[in-house]
Amino acid sequence: MLTIEQPKTFSVLGFPVTCLANYVQWLCERVAQGQGTHVVTLNAEMTMLAEETPQLATVIRLAELVIPDGAGVVLYLRLFGEKVQRCPGIELAAQMLHEAAQASWSIFFYGGAPSVADAAAEKWKQTLPDLAIAGIQNGFLAPEDTDAFLQRLQQLQPRIIFVGLGVPRQEYWIAQHRHLCPNSTWIGIGGSFDIWSERSKRAPAWLRNNNLEWVYRLYQEPWRWRRMLALPRFAWRSLLVKLK
């Protein structure tokens, strides 16, 4: 049996971030052992929202794994001497799909607009024919259909559940419903279904490698400009903490 790496936890403006050399290996060990896990992909925008939203702050602090998804979080940690690598949630999720196909772990896709999650699942089935997709449900679920969906999810007990409802809705939803599948790994994946289904495009590698993925997202979705104001606020808060 592999010796699981002991995670180190560091504070980013009061929120825990798990620092590991290999997030996938650590997470796979927990999946194999049936240890229920909530994975939060933390970035600067979510951090600032959590500072103003006690409910989200609580969810983040209770999660078993909080990864440094955003460049701002990574730069904050490096500012305080922690040499960590960014772990984008979409890349972690993709790696877990490869691991799931090899280990025959069942996957559930929940979220996205109608047909988007289906298209994402189909793309992955083409890449990984052995991938066991237990079920798919779009995020536009009618209230009268909710109970049936939750009962179905509980009966299936997927090993890994991807929830793409956007921040913070997906974090709240996971925290509220993870008791239905207590041994599952739950990962909030934001807009990954859109990218996997090719409804949206991810930033080019050169932007990602230079911590500028947010620029491309703003270019694609200019309506996000108000939310992006969190980035300079995060930078200013980080500087104040460093000066103190």
pLDDT in tens, 203-232: 566 556 655 565 556 546 655 546 666 778
Question: Would you say residue 158 has pLDDT above 50?
Answer: yes
Which pLDDT score is estimated for 226?
Answer: 62
- Which one, of 228, 217, 219, lies nearest residue 191 by Cα? 217
Evaluate whether 135 touches 153 at the Cβ level (below 8 Å).
yes
Q: In angstroms, rounded to a whole number, what is the distance separating the alpha carbons of residues 243 and 232?
A: 16
The predicted-structure confidence for 63-100, as pLDDT tens digits, reads as follows 999 999 988 999 999 999 988 889 999 999 999 999 99
Q: Higher pLDDT residue, 202 or 48?
A: 48
Residue 2 lies in a domain: no
Q: In angstroms, rounded to a whole number, what is the distance separating the alpha carbons of residues 115 and 136?
A: 10
Which pLDDT score is estimated for 240?
Answer: 85
Which pLDDT score is estimated for 231?
Answer: 77
Residue 185 lies in a domain: yes
The predicted-structure confidence for 103-129, as pLDDT tens digits, reads as follows 999 999 999 999 999 999 999 999 999
Q: Helix (H, G, I), strand (E, B), or coil: what is residue 54?
A: helix
pLDDT average, residue stretch 10-25: 95
pTM of the model: 0.90
pLDDT average, residue stretch 169-176: 98
- Which one, of 61, 72, 60, lies nearest residue 237 by Cα? 72
Residue 131 lies in a domain: yes
Domain count, the chain: 1
Phi-psi map region of 211: left, alpha, beta (phi>0 left; psi -120 to 50 alpha): left
Residue 1 lies in a domain: no
Which pLDDT score is estimated for 236?
Answer: 87
Which pLDDT score is estimated for 210?
Answer: 56
pLDDT average, residue stretch 163-179: 97
Residue 176 lies in a domain: yes
Q: Higher pLDDT residue, 212 or 180?
A: 180
Residue 3 lies in a domain: no
Six-digit token string for 194: 């859109």
Residue 17 lies in a domain: yes
> Containing domain of residue 33, as a range?
8-203+210-243
Which pLDDT score is estimated for 1?
Answer: 45
Helix and strand totals (H; E) in the chain: 13, 8
